[in-house]
Structure 1
Amino acid sequence: MTTSTALLIADLVGVAVFAASGASAAVAKRLDLFGVVFVGFVAALGGGIFRDLVVDEVPPLAFADWRYATAAALTAAAVFWLHPQLARLRTTVLVLDAAGLALFTVTGTLKALDAHVPPFGACVIGMLSGIGGGLGRDLLTGEIPVVLRREIYAVAAFAGAVMVAVLHGAGQVGPLPLAVAAVLIFVLRLVALRRRWAVPVATLRPPRTGDPGAGPRW
C-alpha cells in the first residue's frame, strides 16, 4: 500500500468517525435530520477544509472529491436513524471524537510536511486539523469547545503531530508508523479522560472587603 493510498483511507475513516461524533452530539441535542447531518458534515470536514486551505490546495478535498462529503453525510444520516441502538451516547461521542482527533492530526501533519511546510508549522497545522471538527461541532451544539476546557485535547493532538514529524524526518512514513502515531493520540486522549488529567487553569480569588484595589477599574 502506497503512502498516498494510506493517507486517503485514513482521511476517509477520520471523516466517518468525526461525522458520527458530530451526529451523535446533535442527536443528544434533539436536532432534526437536517441538523444532525449538517453538524456531522461540519465536524467531519471542518478540520480538513482548514488544512487544505493552509497548504494551498484549492478547492479543498471536501468539495473536490465527492467521497468526502458522501462519507460524512451518509455516516451522519446512519447515526440519526440508528441512534436508538447506540447506548450511552456521551461515551460514544467521546470515543469517536478521540479516534477522529487521532486520524485527522496524523493526516493533517503528513499532508503539511508533504507540502514542504517546516516541521513546527506542520505540527501546528496537524493539531488544528484534528481539533477543527470538534470545535465546529461543539459551537453548533451550544457547548464550550473541548479544546478551550481543561481536558487534554489539543495537547494530545500536538504530541502526535510531533511524533509524525519525527518519523517523517527519519524516513518512516509507511502505514505502520502512522498508525502508531494515531494510536498514541487516541490512547493519550482516552487515558486523560479516564484519569481526569487536565491542563492548569487560572485561579480567580474574590476581592477582599476594604481592599482599595477591589473597586472597578476604568
Structure 2
Amino acid sequence: MSASDLATKEGSHGHQRMMVGIIVGSTVAVISGMLLVFYFVFKRRKNFTENKKLAGNINHINEEQNEDLELPLLELSRVASATDNFSIKNKLGEGGFGPVYKGILDDGQEIAVKKLSNSSGQGLNELKNEVILIAKLQHRNLVKLLGCCIEDEEKLLIYEYMPNKSLDYFIFDETRRKLLDWSKRFNIIIGIARV
C-alpha cells in the first residue's frame, strides 16, 4: 500500500473516532440533563406534597383548638410585600433557624416574620411541632403566633411584633441587665406566672 493511501485510511479512521466521540458525548450530556430535570421536578413535587400535607395538618390544628387560636395561612406575596420583599433594612436579627424580618401588613398590623432557612435543618416536622406548641401555649406574656406561610420552598412563621424587644435582650446583655433590679425582675416573674 502506498503512503498516500495509508494516510487517507488513517484520516478516515480518525474522522470516524471523532464522530463517535461527539455522538457518545452528546448522548451522555442529554441523558444527564434529562436526569437532572427529572430529579428537580420530583423534588419540587415532593416538597409541594409535603407542604400541602403540612398545611392540612395546620388546618387540623385549627379545628382542634378553640376559635381564639385560629392560625391563618398567609400568602407568600402578602408577606413579601409586608417585609418589602425581605429587605435587609427590615431585618431584626437572625437565629439558629433563619432571619427574622419586621413587616407591616396591608391592614397596618406590625408583624415579625421568621423565615426558616433551608439549610437550618429545621424541616417540616420541626415547623409543625413549633406551630402546634406555640398555638397551644397562647399566653398574654408570650409572643403571639399570628399565622404561617408555606409556599414553594418558603416556610415562614408570622408573629406579633414586639417593639420593646424580648426579655433575653435585657437579661443576656452585660449593660442592659443592670437596668433590671431585683424588684423589676420579681414583677416580671409575677407577670409571667399570671394567667
For the aligned pair, the TM-score class normalised by the smaller chain equals: under 0.3
Query: What TM-score, normalized by structure 1, do the two folds share?
Result: 0.25
- The structure with the largest alpha-carbon Rg is 2
Higher strand share: 2
Query: What TM-score, normalized by structure 2, do the two folds share?
Result: 0.28
Q: Which has the higher contact order (CA 8 A, sep 6+)?
A: 1
Higher helix share: 1
